[in-house]
Amino acid sequence: MKTKNKVALVTGGSMGFKNGGPSIGGAVSIRLARDGYRVVIIDFCEMGKKTVEIIEKSGGEAIFVNGDVSNTEDVKKAITTAKSKFRGLHCLVNCAARYTPDMAKNIAEISEEEWTKTIDVNLGGYFRTAKYAIPLILKSGGGTIINISSIEAFLALPNFSVYCVSKAAIDGLTRALAVDFAPLIRTNSVCPGFVKIANSQGNRTPQELKEWYSRIAKNYPMKRVCEVEEIANVVSFLASDKSSYINGQTIIVDGGKIVADFHEF
């Protein structure tokens, strides 16, 4: 799937903020660079520099833009960087997401402020980057948009109300973009299940992490936890000409969890 002279913008492309560990956005950025894309990464986390370092060590090209996708000027800065440094844009991957302890609440308990802030990142960030990136993608000859959603668009995780709502809305946005901008731009979403990322590890010890992942894996037919590279591989496919007739689709990457019923009789 080697791509020449193409440019990708990845939101939330930093490695894990705690120690530079695995992240979906980081893995996507690294994989697209391996495919030949020159990559612009926007994230408010300085670990975006770590992603660039990894890409450059492998011979790729990448630029980190410190910015917040809830800020229109930051989004415009990232797109301007793609235009000025790499002279175009062909692929947008929306991956930035908000996670705070205060958002882990049901509808009755979550504050209006937390609801609004989360929607402004998880959905508004996708809207902003698409809105301001699409003209440059069209000017560059067309391309692809891939939105990272979640199986929580279909399944309600207890006391995680705003997250579930925002992810369901992302899939709606994906379909709207797919209809409005095809055939020059194809838009699809990827819905992961649980993925092993550094930002969810908390202060667990290596042994505690092993036990935690083992408990989660019991609810997945594949009996293991997804690695970030497995999500990046799907994004790579959707960004490539190998998926040239796939548009407006939601690709679930969850090892079969969404179709599994583990009732005991």
Residue positions annotated with a catalytic role: 163
Is cis: bond before 183, omega within 30 of 0? yes
Within 10 angstroms of residue 162's Cβ, the number of other Cβ atoms is: 23
DSSP character at residue 169: H
Q: Which residues contact 165 (CB under 8 A, 6 or more apart)?
A: 119
For helices 124-139 and 112-122, give the axis angle rounded to 10 degrees. Answer: 20
Both tokens of residue 71? Answer: 């800020």
DSSP character at residue 166: H
Closest by CA position to 85, among listed 135, 136, 157, 159: 136
Distance CA 166, CA 172 (A): 10
DSSP character at residue 95: -
Distance CA 155, CA 10 (A): 26
What DSSP element (H or E) covers 132?
A: helix 124-139
Distance CA 240, CA 35 (A): 9
